[in-house]
Structure 1
Amino acid sequence: MAKRTNVRWVVAGLLIALFIGALDVTVVSTATKHIIADLKGTSLFSWVFTIYTLTTCVTTPIFGKLTDLFGRKIVFLIGIVLFILGSVLCGFAHSMTALIFYRAIQGIGAGALNPVCFTIVADLFTGEKRGRMMGVFASVWSIAGLFGPLVGGYFVDQVSWRWIFFINLPLGVLSLLFVATCLHEKFDRQRKSIDYAGAATFTVAITALLYAILSGGEKIAWNSAAMFALLAVSFVFLIMFFWIEAKAKEPMIPLSLFRNRVMNVSNLSGFLSFAISSGVTIYAPLWIQSIQGHTATQSGLLVMPMTLAWPLAANLVGRYMYRLGIKASVVFGAIVVLGGSVWLATLGAASPYWYWIGIMAIIGFGMGFCSTPATVMVQSAVGFESRGVAMSTNSLIRSMGQTIGVAVFGTIFNHYVLSDAAPAADLVDGMHAIFALMLAIAAVHLLAVVFLPRHKKVMAGQVS
């Protein structure tokens, strides 16, 4: 990066961008009732969330590769403009179909925000400073998780649900101005070869897979011909994608990334750990409300210990992981997550509320110790020319872990709970089965991170 870059203001702009992207994940759910009442189209409403997830996941690695080809700044600016445009259009939507279309635009923009923000930070900082900044940036998701319901609730109750989208305009413009005026990068402007075939086959493969996962068990039966057709399309196009990548001059996702042990273990860690975190945040409130009879407010507050412990651990490990050892930090986090999962699996219907507080705090603390070093390792395992695609691939795999995890947990739950009027015993059995699977995933996760190279080897392989 050029010396003229004003790091402080660039970081501020990136934090704002990351915040509005993270906020959007939680704030929309608070307005569900009001959006349906205003726009109708109840049967389509799930697509407001589905299309956002789908477009974000599909575009994340594409944007990641573009940052390596054309520079971080231009791709970030395109992403933030698309996100702002999509947000404003969502605010003006007058039908559910229009809202879904505009959410797709917003999701495309969001596909650039997370990986490109972390890639720019990796370019600006090295060594221990990079670890500290990753801790700070990891905190944004937790802060957004805390403020999302509050912000959404305020606008929905006091103004209009449309303002949960309009609020992104001033914040997004501020972020755009900070980065556009303060980030100065030197980038090779020679003609680049774009992997159009790879991007096209990847888009079809991931779209078919995500549509199958997000629709499975609800819109499409898992054992139906339509489901098998979607999975077959995904498999065929994924094979085509890897074949194309092996021959492409500038592959969208270089296959060499999958020959890097640090990358492989970090990606596997992200997939497994984020599957656990997504499952806990969904089924903990359900247990508290449906089995123990607590209020919706109490169940909502239950997620807070995780959202507080996660950034606390992320900041601690960001500061000290180079002293403690990167591998030791990740393994410690995996052990903590496993401990929380063991406690989770032993819960009974009469377990007190504070048990859940302890479980959520422990799992959140362990996640903070796992995710921050893993992110730094991914950033440091490759050079500047591949950092964007490495970060975006890691981000995609974490998202896939969340999506597939939720789908698998939902399928297990529906196997036990056959109707809305199911007895409490069925609910307990269904969630115990999910918690047992989470425990197994946590054990596999710990086993996986043990295969990370030792600290000295990780350090020796780092690229500034």
Structure 2
Amino acid sequence: MRTTHRPLTTVALALSLFMAALEMTVVSTAMPTVVSDLGGLQSYAWVFTAYMLSSTITVPIYGKLSDLYGRKPVLLFGIGLFLVGSIASGLSTSMNMLIAFRVFQGLGAGAMQPVALTIVGDIYTLEQRAKVQGAFSAVWGVAGLVGPLTGGLIVKYLSWHWVFFINVPVGLGALALLIFFFHEKVQHKPQKLDFAGAVLLSAGVVALLFGVQGTGRSLLALPLGAVLLGAFVWVEGKVADPLLPMSLFKIPVIAIASVAGVFFSVAMFGSTAYVPLYVQGVLGGSPTEAGGMITPMIVGWPLASLVAGKLLLRTGPRPLIIGGLGLTVVGTALMALLLKPGASMLVPGLAMALFGIGLGFATTSLLIAVQTSVGWELRGVATASTMFFRTVGGALGVGLMGGVMVAQLMKDPRVSFSDANALLGPGHGQELSPVLLETLSGALRFGLTINFWIICGCTAAAFAVGLFFPRGGRDKGTVLPSTDVTVSH
């Protein structure tokens, strides 16, 4: 069979991850402007959660499909669907349209990150993998540097619609490289996808998301979600080829990585979604300044990941995981304490940098530990399960914080959503009466401050879970030849 060109395959995988990273920073920068143009501050969280929800529920499905049918077709499909969703999002003329097309983007993104990282696990040895995973984290750093600036310039000189169109050339380049330079041979077995598990998992996560964002009757979705997820666990224990094998979570490394991933992802996605909103809506900053507030986090992350990749073989994952998660607690505590009106941008910037450095140490070490705890036949679903818990944590966290913010804004009966939208417009609500402007700004500030303390609490919970990570366990796992990827079940 044809051999894989590993360097060019690696470039294609890096481009895929770059799209996902750039999407996060650029959209976060542009969102306050999108709200002022399309209206719908009450739906602000849904622009993020629709994307994360659709990517979350598909991650384990794509992971299983990649184990059954190979990585290449699944990743190509994901990138293609992501590009379709990007183009459609850029053409949106209402908030509801944008949310709907963000779902399509997320359906594609659900394949991109876990399958790309699984391929890295396939074509590199453990020693090489630690370095490559660290280098891949540098992709997020580059996106962190150029994303806020790019988003600010696009909003200022073009239109927010173009923050979605910029994915197209990057995605086409990744598709071309994968088609021509990544090759694998898959020996299929007569296995069926666990559709019952997929439906129960999807419905359960959707119900939870509606429940955490709502009040009154919508809170009934929380017990419904719990019942559906309980049924999912029961079904997975009965079917011959489960979507998410429950036996995986008997491995302490995977169980701890999953639980910790839920908590620190609430903090990560919450910071990305709501720090820019605070800067623009409360501090009156520009879109570029708003996006720039998350840059220290996204730059500190890959720098720490590069260091973690070099230290991992010497120290093992445990010290890096505990130390990294400890740093995230320090960073988010400083953010909650210091991000207030009149604060210097340098102080919360330092807090976000510490947060990012901690994430870089912890997430890289956790992912490599998970991948080396299983063989090829389970590496796709094990990687995907880790990504699943991270994205479900992010989706539920952003949704919960969106509900907190809207509840605070709507406490005063004099406030309407159109008034709240005006707060994010170019004039920062100067057309509103002074009393109403002060009321709105105070409510938004109070709601977002609550969110920052939620973020801090979640990093503390992740740190507590990380303390249970097993000592030792530097299993090098099994890998395939690095230049000739032959997949056999």
TM-score interval w.r.t. the shorter chain? 0.7 to 0.9
Change (3 A) 1:47 1:13: same
2:313 to 322, 326, 345: 322
Cα distance in 1 for residues equivalent to 2:70 and 2:217 = 44
415 and 104 in structure 1: CA distance in 2 versus 1, 3 angstrom threshold: closer
Superposed, 1:264-413 pairs within 5 Å as 264-282=255-273, 284-285=275-276, 297-344=288-335, 346-347=337-338, 352-410=344-402
CA contact (8 A) 1:56 1:107 kept: yes
Q: Which residue of 2 aligns with 1:138?
A: 137
- Change in Cα spacing, 1:300 to 1:72, as seen in structure 2 (3 Å) is closer
Q: Distance in 2 between matches of 1:425 and 1:94?
A: 30
5+ residue gaps in structure 2? Answer: 413-419, 421-437, 480-489
Instruction: Find the residue that maps to 2:186 and give its secondary structure.
Output: coil
How many angstroms apart in 2 are the aligned matches of 1:182 and 1:355?
46
Preserved CA contact (<8 Å) 1:58 1:203:
yes
Indicate conservation of the 8 Å contact 2:197/2:243, yes or no. yes
Partner of 1:202: 201
CA shift for structure 1 position 176? 0.9
Q: Secondary structure at the match of 1:192?
A: coil
> Is the 8 Å Cα contact of residues 54 and 211 (structure 1) preserved in structure 2?
no
How far, CA to CA, are the matches of 2:73 and 2:266 in structure 1? Answer: 32
Q: Is the Cα–Cα contact under 8 Å of residues 381 and 463 in structure 1 kept in the other structure?
A: no
Q: Identify the match of residue 225 of structure 1 among 203, 217, 224.
A: 217
Amino acid at match of 2:62: F
* Aligned 8 A contact 2:32 2:277 in 1: no
Query: What amino acid is aligned across from residue 453 of structure 1 in structure 2?
Result: P
1-structure distance, mates of 2:281, 2:33:
24
Q: CA–CA distance in 2 between the matches of 1:296 and 1:153?
A: 5
2:229 pairs with 238, 257, 266, which one?
238
Q: 1:344 to 1:175 in 2, by over 3 A?
A: closer
Once the 2 structures are TM-superposed, how far is the Cα of residue 106 of structure 1 from its aligned partner?
Answer: 2.2
Q: Give the match's secondary structure for 1:276.
A: helix
Code of the residue aligned with 2:81 in structure 1: it is L
Q: Does 2:79 correspond to 1:80?
A: yes
Which TM-score applies when normalising by structure 1? 0.86
Change (3 A) 1:22 1:309: closer
Q: 1:360 to 1:86 in 2, by over 3 A?
A: closer
- Tell me the distance in 2 between the aligned counterparts of 1:86 and 1:372: 29
* Alignment check: 8 A CA contact 1:306 1:362 kept: yes
SS in 1 for 2:20: helix
Distance in 2 (CA, whole Å) between partners of 1:298 and 1:36 is 17
- Specify the code of the residue in structure 2 equivalent to 1:251: P
Is 1:53 the equivalent of 2:52? yes
**How much has 1:346 moved relative to structure 2?**
4.8
Instruction: Give deviations 1:206-240, integer Å, cap 9, x for gaps.
Output: 22222333xx2xxx42xx12331x22332222122
Cα distance, 1:49 vs. partner?
Answer: 3.9
1:176-233: CA deviation from partner (whole Å, max 9, x where unpaired): 11111111112112322221111122121122222333xx2xxx42xx12331x2233
Moved more, 117-126 or 269-278: 269-278
Deviation string, structure 1 residues 113-156 (Cα, Å, up to 9, x no partner): 11111111111112121111111222323332332333334444
Determine helix, strand or coil for the equivalent of 1:459.
coil
User: For 2:101 and 2:284, how far apart are their aligned partners in 1?
Assistant: 38
Tell me which amino acid in the other structure corresponds to 2:223.
A
Match of 2:148 in 1: 149
2:474 corresponds, among 440, 459, 462, to 459
The CA deviation at 1:449 is 1.4
- Structure 2 CA distance for aligned equivalents of residues 348 and 39 of structure 1: 28
Seen in structure 2, the aligned counterparts of structure 1 residues 158 and 118 have a Cα distance that, compared at 3 Å, is: same
Question: Residue type of the partner of 2:330?
Answer: G
- Who is 1:109 aligned against? 108
**Cα distance in 1, alignment partners of residues 334 and 94 from structure 2:** 46
The answer to whether the aligner puts 1:177 opposite 2:202 as a matched pair is no
Q: Could you say what secondary structure the match of 1:186 adopts?
A: strand
Q: Deviations over 1:69-123 (max 9, x none)?
A: 1110111111112122233344455666554443322221111111111111111
- Paired residues of 1:27 and 1:149 also in contact (CA < 8 A): yes
Bigger mean CA offset, 316-325 vs 18-27 = 18-27
Which amino acid in the other structure matches residue 198 of structure 1?
G
SS in 2 for 1:193: coil
Letter paired with 1:174? G
- The separation in 1 between residues aligned to 2:439 and 2:104, in whole angstroms, is 39
* Letter of the 1:400 counterpart: V
Q: Which has the higher contact order (CA 8 A, sep 6+)?
A: 2
- Cα distance change, pair 267–43 in 1 and its aligned pair in 2 (3 A): closer
Which letter maps to 1:237? L
In structure 2, what is the Cα distance between the partners aligned to 1:425 and 1:86?
Answer: 36
Query: How much does 1:407 deviate?
Result: 3.9
Instruction: Name which of structure 1's ranges 90-99 and 358-367 shifts more when overlaid on structure 2.
Output: 90-99
**Distance in 2 separating the partners of 1:414 and 1:14:** 38
Distance 1:364 1:226, change over 3 A: closer
Per the alignment, residue 241 of structure 2 pairs with 250
Deviations 1:223-280 (A, max 9, x none): x12331x223322221221121111111000011111100011112222222223344
Alpha carbons 1:193, 1:249 under 8 Å: kept: no
Q: Displacement, 1:365?
A: 1.0
Aligned Cα root-mean-square deviation (Å): 3.2
Kindly provide the amino acid, as one letter, of the partner of residue 208 in structure 1: A
Q: 2:52–2:392: 8 Å Cα contact kept in structure 1?
A: no
Q: Deviations over 1:336-390 (max 9, x none)?
A: 2233344445548576543323212211111111111011111111111111111
Does the 8 Å CA contact 2:149/2:292 hold for their aligned counterparts? no
Could you tell me which amino acid in structure 2 is paired with residue 312 of structure 1?
A: L
Which has the larger displacement, 324-333 or 80-89?
80-89
Q: Which amino acid aligns with 1:58?
A: I
Which residue does the alignment assign to 1:448?
465
State the distance in 2 between where 1:124 and 1:246 align. 31
Write the deviation string for residues 380-402 of structure 1: whole angstroms up to 9, x where unpaired.
11111111111111112112222
